[in-house]
Amino acid sequence: MLKEERQQTILNVVELHNRILITDIAETLDVSIDTIRRDIKELDADHKLKKVHGGAISLGFTTNSVKNNNIYKLEQKTTIAEKALTLLKDGSVIFVDGGTTCNELARLIPNDIELTCFTHSIPVAMELLTKSNVTVILIGGQVSKESQISIGANAIHNLSEIKVDYSFIGTGYVDSYYGLTEFDWDIVQVKKAIIKCSKKTVLLSISEKLNSQHRYKSCDINAINTMITELNPENELLNSFRNHDIRIL
């Protein structure tokens, strides 16, 4: 594989899953860790991704600004967010996860709907604060510099003391057999707490993530009540998920 092809593959993976580990991509591409480390360093210098310890994250994932022009597959994520809006009702208490698709949902919430919204994501909280009828409650804890979400024992404890009508969550990887997975152990622990405090859990995921998996499991697929992708609910790519008790939008 040529260097340009290898670096494009790295960019594609980091854009899709937001973050990658050097060891994983080196194994996938069957090249040395040093080669991938050099590739990531060059891509970081070219402002195509952000190099972090042990891997890289996408620019769209790491921005400190609410207004973000580096969102991967923004049109598809907007479609997902618009579908999710149909589940919102006046007076609902909801949780909105971190990540670019959930941030798009927060951006599109109408100003005339009254909601109480919990989140552990600083970008999502900043977006929700622009909504005049939304009460925003930020779940506190250690803040991940990469994902800008609260993690750790304090966040998990705070989540154990609430019950929301809906949680809208994202995931790095989703598979009809293996369920929702991530490569970050700390994020998985918080995700488990989010699902536990929710009457219903709604997964927001672009279809490119379907049939993918990683090391640490957030939940079985049956823990999800509703799955929203940009696809038509009858699309054959969703057939394997139809075998489970999941509403597909």
Per-residue pLDDT of the chain (249 residues; tens, 9 = 90+): 788 888 888 888 888 877 888 888 888 888 888 898 898 988 888 888 888 888 888 876 655 444 555 677 889 999 999 999 999 999 999 999 998 899 999 999 999 999 999 999 999 999 999 999 999 999 999 998 878 899 999 999 999 999 999 999 999 899 999 999 988 899 999 999 999 999 999 999 999 999 988 889 999 999 999 999 999 999 999 999 988 889 999
Say if CB 242 and CB 92 are below 8 A apart: no
**Residue among 228, 222, 230, 229 nearest 246 (CA):** 222
- Bridge partners, residue 9, by sequence: none
Distance (Å, whole) CA 41 – CA 35: 10
Residue type, 5: E
Give the pairing type, strands 19-21 and 55-57.
antiparallel
pTM over 0.75: yes
- Bridge partners, residue 150, by sequence: 143
